[in-house]
Chain A
Amino acid sequence: MSVTADAIPEVQSAVKAGAAPAIVLEKVSKWYGSMQVLRDITLTIAQGERIVICGPSGSGKSTTIRCINRLESHQEGRIVVDGTELTDDLRALDTIRREVGMVFQSFNLFPHLTILENCTLAPIWVRKMPKAEAEELAMDYLRRVKIPEQAKKYPGQLSGGQQQRVAIARALCMKPKIMLFDEPTSALDPEMIKEVLDTMIGLAETGMTMVCVTHEMGFAQKVADRVVFMDRGEIVESGTPARMFNDPQTDRLKLFLSQILRGH
């Protein structure tokens, strides 16, 4: 919302036509107690595709992407990630979590570890990487998110924008095939939103499969291959950003767009 659309360069689509889909959701439903929070979510995401999920708060956007790496479990339907179906099987879960990186609204860096240790922890313990190699890899990604000089500091010493960039680098150190972003800029001051969005755009240019829950419509317009609009636990409408923003079909999307545009 705070970054105008023209500030962001257009990113070429990286969708691999004909390849197996990266993520498949088939009639996924979920309840909290008696309240249904997801209703028959069906969505297929291609390799290299960049999806932006938007919608009013409480619409199930975050729950949907948290189901993709099973931080939440679904009760009905199927979720297949990178060819592996998400079930109660712990080995399948391990396989999927290695391939799926996630960035949270509240960063969730480990406060007792340095920036470098935050980044090397998973490569060392999950990928069984030698420490020196893991540190080299981490420095590589920290340079990519433009904060290599902070490597020896602790998360509490960094600004929100820097912390979120570290969180992105930390996820990338696992060399995931898919990245999930759960409102990555919602907890940031306006002047820090741009640095995080720039990092995400840089990532998009590498052809990464990305699923972002965000309210940054400028980002959606320039980067997303597809925008999915959710409301009350269901997918109401989806399409290219241009079609969604210029020619909304449903009243609910029209209402949502008018509300977030009025917010300016």
Chain B
Amino acid sequence: MSGTAADPRYAAPRAAPRRRMRLSWSDPLLRNLFWQVVVIGGVVLLVWYLVGNTSRNLQARHIATGFRFLTQSAAIPIGESPIPYTPSVSTYGRALLIGILNTLRVSVIGVVLATVLGTLIGIGRLSKNFLLAKFTALYVEVLRDIPVLLQLFFWYGLLQHLPGTRQALHPIAGVFLSNRGIKLPWVDWERGDTGAVVAFVLGAVLTWLWSRRAAARQARTGVRPATWPVALLLLVVFPVAVWAALGAPFSLDVPALHGFNFQGGITLSPEFAALLVGLVIYTSSYIAEIVRSGIEAVAQGQWEAAFALGLPHGIVLRQIVLPQALRVIVPPMTSQYLNLIKNSSLAVAIGYQDIVSIAGTTLNQTGQAIEGVAIIMAVYLTFSLSISAFMNWYNAHIALVER
């Protein structure tokens, strides 16, 4: 740039003139300033009124504010909890923590399953197979048009009308469907199993290192060493070998009927199962459309140009189409994840004890409505902002640097 400044053929650059505001209603700067002052003033007034009104009413009703109730013992019966809880002994704080964990459990599993199912359905709609394309189209069109609350009632109703424990449906060995929920077998955890898991994690790290080495080697020699045999060895053969070396412990904790209920295995309660299935199926119909439109948004010319260069189908998909499709897919996908998390609050309608349900009971029992609602808001805000932050980071990571 220093060259241009000294160049006698060009005029020396000068600073842009500053725009001055005129005291006239036809001046856009003045108008902008006026409306901003009006809006901000209105918001301040509204907040001042709400805060003042609330505190006056709280005083009139002699309601103490604050979060002291969190350490009091809670008389809330809780059906399913990932951590120990005893009604009337454990605190409200612990009860609310269980609510948060229950919301987190259904949201995390739901997001993962909805993504997998939605992606498969979305790719199915692009299939040239008539049956598959029509079936997936029907899936999307029907399921996204039925309100999610209705779908939850449907699944919950279906699960509640399963036969009792003694006549439980028994589709495959070890699995029981009854009105007490879904019973699944679970592994009796032993040292050999831990060894196998450690070996798998180690194998995954080594596989990642190997694929990086393969990429470096391709850059150097042009030939990319095959990754899948190494991955198979490290991810399957190695953990199995460790497991076998540690005595190959294998015993399944299979649920069995004892008296009126099942013993052993793990249980998915009807409430949890209905909420999970409902949320996953509803959200997957939207995700399917997002995936389909993302792939279709990549211009046909991109495929053609890549094929004309002789690139094989898999490379075209991985190097050309997916990177471009993802940048269309990620932002609306974030919205769907947030929707799923927020829709999980409908749990209260079918009796799954998520944060809304437990915080609702808490504020009923303690009368701390403002604090209860504040906790619910804080929980959803934290979840949503975390998802947003992660997805925005991912989006920036894959974003197209176009210019």
Contacts and interface: CB of A to CB of B under 8 A. Distances in A.
A81 B389 CA distance: 53
B89 interface: no
B319 A69 contact: no
Interface string B217-245: 01111111000000000000000000000
B315 A106 contact: no
A128 B222 contact: yes
Given A71-B308, A104-B304, A104-B305, A125 B219 contact: no
Contact of B309 (A97, A130, A156, A157): A97
A128 B224 CA distance: 8
Given A71-B308, A110-B320, A121-B319, A127 B302 contact: no
Nearest to A126: B310
Nearest to A180: B308
B301 A106 contact: yes
B259 interface: no
B121 to A, nearest CB: 26
Best-surrounded residue of B224, B301, B304, B310 (most CB of chain A within 10 A): B310
Contacts of B324: 111-112
A129 B299 CA distance: 28
Nearest to B323: A112
A124 to B, nearest CB: 7
A174 B324 CA distance: 23
A175 to B, nearest CB: 11
A102 B299 CA distance: 17
Interface residues of A, number: 36
A125 B308 contact: no
B304 A71 contact: yes
A94 B312 contact: yes
A108 B306 CA distance: 9
Contacts of A78: none
A97 B312 CA distance: 10
A101 B306 CA distance: 11
A126 B224 CA distance: 11
Interface residues of B, number: 29
B389 to A, nearest CB: 24
B189 interface: no
B304 A130 contact: no
Nearest to B308: A102
A106 B310 CA distance: 19
B7 interface: no
B222 A127 contact: yes
Contacts of B310: 94, 97-98, 122, 126, 174
A131 B320 contact: no
Contacts of B158: none
A104 B301 CA distance: 8
A130 B220 contact: yes
A131 B309 contact: no
A108 B222 CA distance: 25
A126 B316 CA distance: 11
A170 B402 contact: no
A156 B403 contact: yes
Contact of A112 (B307, B312, B400): B400
Given A104-B304, A108-B301, A154-B402, A126 B219 contact: no
Contacts of A122: 309-311
B401 A130 contact: no
Given A111-B324, A154-B403, A125 B301 contact: no
A189 interface: no
Contacts of B403: 154, 156-157
A213 interface: no
A174 B402 contact: no
A110 B221 contact: no
A158 to B, nearest CB: 9
A110 to B, nearest CB: 6
A108 B302 contact: yes
A133 interface: yes
Interface in A159-203: 167, 170-171, 174
Interface in B249-304: 299, 301-302, 304
B223 A71 contact: no
Question: Considering residues A111, A124, A129, A156, which has the most beta carbons from chain B within 10 angstroms of its beta carbon?
Answer: A111
Contacts of B302: 108, 110
Contacts of A129: 222
A118 B304 CA distance: 14
A155 B320 CA distance: 14
Among B309, B312, B324: residue with most chain A CB under 10 A: B309
A129 B310 CA distance: 14
Contacts of A128: 222-224
A171 B309 contact: yes
Contacts of A104: 301, 304-305
Contacts of B222: 124, 127-131, 133-134
B20 to A, nearest CB: 36
Interface of B: 218-224, 299, 301-302, 304-312, 315, 319-320, 323-324, 327, 400-403
Given A94-B310, A126-B312, A154-B403, 12 more contacts: A71-B307, A100-B308, A104-B305, A108-B301, A108-B304, A125-B312, A126-B311, A128-B223, A130-B219, A130-B220, A170-B309, A174-B309
The 10 A-B residue pairs with the shortest CB-CB distance in the complex, in nearest-first order: A108-B305, A131-B219, A156-B402, A97-B310, A122-B309, A108-B301, A102-B308, A128-B222, A156-B403, A98-B310
13 contacts: A94-B312, A104-B301, A104-B305, A106-B301, A110-B305, A111-B400, A111-B402, A124-B222, A125-B311, A131-B222, A154-B403, A171-B309, A174-B310
